[in-house]
Amino acid sequence: MPADLSERLFATYYPSLVRRSDRAGQARTRERLLAQSEGVTLEIGAGSGANLRWYPKAVTELVLADPSPYMLDHVRSELASVAEWPGSGIVSLADAGFPSLPFDDASYDSIVTTYVLCSIADVPSALEEIARVLKPGGRLLFLEHVRAADGSVLGWVQDLLQRPHRLIADGCRPNRRTEELLRDSSLTVAWLERGEQPSAAPTVRPTIMGVAVR
């Protein structure tokens, strides 16, 4: 499947999957995670804009970045539908993503990724880019689906299906070992909680949520 076609297809059905999961309880998870954001904040892979309404007043400036023009259209629609943004500062959009973020070193107090690292080709390099643009002491807030435990049937199925899954989900890998990649990076994992993405396909159900500090 051509890359642009996969991107278009994913952008077409992804928002409905997000809404279904949020109604089943994922919205509370987003709220818990994003309550820890503050100051100048960058969300990488803003997707359908599902996080927007959960940013707290402590966020003084929010940059919503995504490399997909189709996803940025969703973000614009979500911005228009939110009567009053809960944060205290301005919101801007950026056509940006990995491998290279077009932001200055040490620019952000908080960076947010939710269901993003699964689709990045080179996660170690992406995490170093995140560390570069975070201020010293700045925090990455992450919520990601991950590979199931070694030896599990689900982990075997995720490995088996990862190639076709990437084709229909714009590069998303259901078997990504994101926790290990985070712990091997220059960031320090300060808090990590395992869970499940509600109302999701079994292959993308296991999750980790947490905070990693520069």
Going residue by residue through the chain, which has 214 residues, state the pLDDT in tens, using 9 for 90 and above: 545 767 777 778 888 889 999 999 999 999 999 999 999 999 999 988 999 989 999 999 999 999 988 888 888 888 888 766 666 678 899 999 998 899 999 999 999 999 999 999 999 999 999 999 999 999 999 999 999 999 999 999 999 999 998 888 888 999 999 999 999 999 999 999 999 999 999 999 999 999 999 9
35: helix, strand or coil:
coil
Euclidean distance between the first and the last CA atom of the chain, given in angstroms as a whole number: 38
Domain ranges of the chain: 3-213
Nearest to 114 by CA among 145, 79, 148, 143: 143
How many Cα neighbours within 13 Å face the side chain of 22?
A: 18
- Which CATH topology does 3-213 take? Rossmann fold (3.40.50)
Nearest to 21 by CA among 177, 198, 155: 198
Asked whether the bond before 67 is cis by omega within 30 degrees of 0, the reply is no
Q: Kindly state the helix (H) or strand (E) to which residue 207 belongs, with its residue range.
A: strand 206-213
Specify whether the CB–CB gap between 154 and 147 falls below 8 A. Answer: no
pLDDT value at position 43?
A: 97
Please give the Cα distance from 200 to 207 (Å, whole number).
11
pLDDT value at position 166?
A: 87
